[in-house]
Amino acid sequence: MSEAIEPLTPSTLDPQDWDQFRQSAHGMLDDMIDFMAGVRSRPVWQQMPDEARARLKGPLPLEPNSLASVYEEFQQLVQPYIAGNIHPRFLGWVQGGGTPVGMLAEMLAATLNGNLGGRDQAPIEVERQVIRWATQMMGFPEDSGGLLVTGASMANMIGVLVARTGMLGAEVRREGLGGRRLLAYTSPAAHNCIARAIDMAGLGTDALRLIPTDERHGMDLALLAETIERDRADGGVPFMVIGTAGTVDTGAIDDLAGIAALCRAQKLWFHVDAALGATAMLSQRQRHKLHGISEADSVAFDFHKWAQVPYDVGCVLVRDAELHRATFASNPNYLARETRGLAAGHPWPTDFGPDLSRGFRALKVWMSLKTYGADHLGRVVDHCCALAQQLAARVVGEAELELLSPVSLNIVCFRFLAREHMDRLNTDIVVALQESGVAVPSTTRVNGHIAIRCAFVNHRTSEQDIDIVLRAVLETGRRLAGASALARDPMERAA
Ligand SMILES: *Cc1c(COP(=O)(O)O)cnc(C)c1O
């Protein structure tokens, strides 16, 4: 049975009138530049109204709509109701602010529509260049393996898998764990993605041993050594230690040099989750706090947090590039490599991670680093750390507030004092601030107490923003606490 051959109707998705498209496109670009330039004058966040939410529940559009009408929907339904991390008073969680150069790079990359799974093409050379720059940042050998990925979650997952291959050999990919009880070590302050990585790697979350922290919120290395010894005696197979450079709760940094020495002595893989902290390697003033990171076997970090590159892009570096490749490479017929032609360029990025098709994330990193320069990004780090120190000092100076943890880098945890229901009160203060649109802090738990948490990550945040946030916390706290508000004795030292 053969289908009748009908005359072709044009099915291209390119515009019939490029000039008209050009005009619409320029209008959108102008709008986006205005949006970025005017970010300070808008609320940080506002909740999406039900009406707008409902309008995003239409059926699959079968017929075309004009670009102008679709863009109008974007402007009405999407643009006003973003999380707000581009705003200078977004201090919640740890999120990057994005940049104008990053915005343009995304457009350029989308135009080329690169697929960086493999093959002989310049975009992959750009990614290799970015990876070499990352090795310089971290003090890794230039021939280390590396890959750009969606974020630190994926980068940590890759670190866990390579460490597993390092311990059991590449046969593990065929044979599985064979009943061996692999054990990994980290602190309770580690990011949740570490437990997820252990889980997804098939090791079972019981394989992740949490070593308590000391008073600086870093892993207690004496306890770590004891636990490893005990686990070995019990028939477990310790294989890796995961240090954190910049914990989510308080920004604390483990003693990386200490962990490196311990791992060397114990023949364990040393991985660092530096999702946030890696960018501090670009700062003359902060770099020393990460001393020891360059001795790691692998590091996971984000460009989309402190380095301000737009979402999403994270990076994994593995000192032993061959082991990295041996963890993921496979060679199906349809991906045969050649020494000439487009199928050359071996090894391909797909040999270093789980993805085959991969976008041109590297361009926005490459353009950001080239345009702004690494020193400028280092100064952003310094600026954020200085803002955190300022806020902490102001908190200590306010009798109604209490600082809840030392400031290691850029995160300040504090609370408004009250005679009763202090956890509820501080949660309510944070929600009220978010809903007011004035500022977005988040909450976390420090030493069992709910804390108001301000993370300084955004390059747009200024001293003036600290004034606004502090005033808003005090006014909201007084209003919500009413008669139960409590002032510290001014002679009492901060906790
Ligand atoms: C943000 C963060 C992660 C997760 O990174 P994603 O880019 O969100 O996947 C992991 N670890 C730490 C310490 C983080 O701050």
CA of 279 to the centre of ligand 1 (A): 13
Share of the chain above pLDDT 70, in %: 98
Q: Supply the pLDDT for residue 281.
A: 98
Per-residue CA distances from 21 to 28, 65, 79, 321 (Å): 11, 14, 21, 45
Question: How far apart, in whole angstroms, are the C-alpha atoms of residue 376 and residue 177?
Answer: 46
Instruction: Name the 3-class secondary structure at 168.
Output: helix
Mean pLDDT value across residues 219-226: 97
Residue 170: band (very low, low, confident or very high) from pLDDT cuts 50, 70, 90: very high
Q: Supply the pLDDT for residue 331.
A: 78
User: 220 in ligand 1 pocket by Cβ < 6 Å?
Assistant: no
CA of 181 to the centre of ligand 1 (A): 27
Mean pLDDT value across residues 92-114: 97
> If you average pLDDT over every residue of the chain, what do you get?
95
Mean pLDDT value across residues 401-406: 95
Mean pLDDT value across residues 227-234: 98
**pLDDT surpassing 50 at residue 485:** yes
Q: Supply the pLDDT for residue 487.
A: 87
The answer to whether 44 touches 84, Cβ cutoff 8 Å, is yes
Query: Which residue has tokens 């069992």?
Result: 448
The torsion region of residue 311 among left (phi > 0), alpha (psi -120 to 50) and beta comes to beta
Question: How far apart, in whole angstroms, are the C-alpha atoms of residue 407 and residue 388?
Answer: 7
Give the model confidence (pLDDT) of 44-75 as tens digits. Answer: 999 999 999 999 999 999 999 999 999 999 99
Q: Supply the pLDDT for residue 495.
A: 45
User: 193 in ligand 1 pocket by Cβ < 6 Å?
Assistant: yes
**pLDDT surpassing 80 at residue 4:** no
CA of 191 to the centre of ligand 1 (A): 7
Tokens of 379: 């100064």
Give the model confidence (pLDDT) of 288-313 as tens digits. Answer: 999 999 999 999 999 999 999 999 99
What lies within 8 Å, CB to CB, of 369 at 6+ separation is 130, 133, 377
- Sheet with 442-446, edge to edge strand ranges: 401-403, 411-416, 449-455, 442-446
Question: How far apart, in whole angstroms, are the C-alpha atoms of residue 179 and residue 448?
Answer: 37
**pLDDT surpassing 70 at residue 494:** no
Question: How far apart, in whole angstroms, are the C-alpha atoms of residue 324 and residue 353?
Answer: 8
Closest approach atom of ligand 1 to CA 312: 7
Question: How far apart, in whole angstroms, are the C-alpha atoms of residue 127 and residue 220?
Answer: 37
Angle at 369 between CA 457 and CA 118, to 5 degrees: 110
CA of 2 to the centre of ligand 1 (A): 54
0.85 surpassed by pTM: yes
Tokens of 402: 């209490």
Closest residue by Cα to atom 2, ligand 1, is 275
Residue 1: band (very low, low, confident or very high) from pLDDT cuts 50, 70, 90: low
Give the model confidence (pLDDT) of 436-477 as tens digits. Answer: 999 999 999 999 999 999 999 999 999 999 999 999 999 999
Domains of the chain: 104-329+339-373 (3.40.640.10), 375-494 (3.90.1150.170)
The answer to whether 247 touches 277, Cβ cutoff 8 Å, is no
Residue 43: band (very low, low, confident or very high) from pLDDT cuts 50, 70, 90: very high
User: 153 in ligand 1 pocket by Cβ < 6 Å?
Assistant: yes
CA of 343 to the centre of ligand 1 (A): 34
User: 203 in ligand 1 pocket by Cβ < 6 Å?
Assistant: no
**pLDDT surpassing 50 at residue 95:** yes
